[in-house]
């Protein structure tokens, strides 16, 4: 089912949105100071391209250790991102979710836009993985 939903998603706007995220990542990577945000743009671009069956998870949860993106520098980067881009991007995804949720057929796509809105708020230190990998990481963290 995820494959069918991903194909429909890509055809009806996912490919264009992902390309815009990748373009934003390239622009951010041109400057050295934009590299952390470039990685975030590429992460969101991958998630935007194929969102069904995948989940955004903290790298700390996946690896069990802190890295530069999940530590204090990552938090500072996320705060800057949130204030400059994150709020506006999240509002855009929430607006798209409301538009999709008007019809019953659009509800799964609305849910994906809400996941993207959450990721758009604080994307630094996050990896995109299959849902099974995310569940396994959560199970390991609870043990």
pLDDT on residue 36: 82
- Between 143 and 19, name the one with better pLDDT: 19
Cβ pair 76, 16 in contact under 8 A: no
Q: Which residue has the tokens 């671009």?
A: 45
pLDDT on residue 84: 86
Q: If you average pLDDT over residues 109-138, what whole number do you get? A: 91
How far apart are alpha carbons 46 and 50 in whole angstroms? 7
Closest by CA to 13, choosing from 106, 123, 127, is 106
pLDDT on residue 55: 92
Q: Model's pTM, two decimal places?
A: 0.83
pLDDT on residue 33: 84
């Amino acid at each position: 089912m995820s494959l069918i939903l991903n194909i429909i998603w890509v055809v009806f706007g996912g490919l264009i949105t992902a390309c815009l995220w990748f373009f934003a990542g390239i622009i951010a990577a041109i400057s050295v100071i934009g590299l952390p945000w470039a990685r975030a743009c590429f992460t969101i671009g991958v998630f935007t391209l194929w969102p069904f069956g995948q989940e955004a998870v903290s790298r700390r949860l996946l690896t069990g250790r802190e890295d530069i993106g999940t530590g204090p520098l990552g938090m500072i980067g996320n705060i800057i991102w949130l204030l400059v881009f994150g709020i506006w991007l999240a509002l855009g995804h929430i607006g798209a979710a409301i538009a999709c949720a008007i019809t019953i057929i659009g509800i799964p796509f609305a849910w994906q836009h809400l996941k993207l809105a959450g990721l758009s708020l604080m994307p630094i230190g996050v990896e995109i993985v299959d849902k099974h990998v995310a569940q396994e990481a959560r199970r390991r963290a609870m043990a």
